Amino acid sequence: MGCGTGANLPHLRERVEPDGRVIGVDITRPLLDRAAERVREYDNVAVVQGDAARPPIEDADAVLGTFVCGLFGDPATIVEDWCDLVGDGGRIALMDAAATDDPLGWPLNPLFRAFVAAGAPSSGVADVLRAPFGRFDAPLSRRVADARAAVADRAVDRRYETFGLGFVGLLSGRVR
Ligand SMILES: C[S@@+](CC[C@H](N)C(=O)[O-])C[C@H]1O[C@@H](n2cnc3c(N)ncnc32)[C@H](O)[C@@H]1O
């Protein structure tokens, strides 16, 4: 969900093997066009334009969302819907970035906040300069936490891994 330019799609294709099928969903046409180009040679990979909040897919064994849940207004509801989509025994995995608790990465949190501010459509230069000293990332961190809480609520056999000094977290599990 929110496959963007499709960076994950070739890797997912490797995991599902020839009999499986991978579908990338994204709302942004130009990004999806690049994803379509990336997977053009694969018969069992398709991309479709749609809203991940109302996925144009009726059934799936697994859902992966990387760096997308932080963009949703109500990520918990959307993640719950994804859990319903995959059903009992289905897999869900979310990778997202948020401020880190890792002591090694902690000094870089101000930089992360500036990065978040720079990426926000409504922010200007002053916001980016102010961001390191405030909690500009708080809404993003809340949305990421809400999405992860929804997985924790619905999935078992969960695994949580962090990357990049704890700024990036990957939470996966099997829906009960
Ligand atoms: C930061 S990019 C991540 C792209 C990709 N998952 C990756 O890791 O390379 C976020 C993507 O989510 C997509 N997106 C945002 N809101 C969406 C929605 N409601 N439905 C589907 N895609 C959405 C954007 O168009 C964008 O491609």
List, for residues 127-152, the tens digit of each pLDDT value.
Answer: 899 889 888 889 999 999 999 999 99
Longest dimension (CA), the chain: 52
Residue 7: CB within 6 Å of ligand 1? yes
Which pLDDT band, with edges at 50, 70 and 90, does 8 fall under? very high
CB atoms within 10 A of CB 147: 26
Q: Could you give the angle at which helices 29-38 and 9-16 cross, rounded to 10 degrees?
A: 50
| Mean pLDDT, all residues of the chain | 96
Sheet (strand 168-175) strand order: 62-66, 91-97, 168-175, 155-163
DSSP string covering 126-145: HHHHHGGGTTTTHHHHHHHH
Pure H helices in 58-137: 75-86, 109-119, 125-130
What pLDDT is stored for residue 17 in this prediction?
85
Residue 94: CB within 6 Å of ligand 1? no
Task: Find the mean pLDDT for residues 29-34.
Answer: 98
Q: Which of 9, 12, 27, 72 to mutate to test the pocket of ligand 1 (most atoms within 8 A of CB)?
A: 27
Residues in Cβ contact with 165 at an 8 Å cutoff, skipping those fewer than 6 apart: 100, 102, 104, 105, 108
Residue 46: CB within 6 Å of ligand 1? no
What is the domain partition of the chain in residue ranges?
Answer: 1-57, 70-175
CA of 3 to the centre of ligand 1 (A): 6
What pLDDT is stored for residue 65 in this prediction?
98
CB atoms within 10 A of CB 57: 15
Residue 26: CB within 6 Å of ligand 1? yes
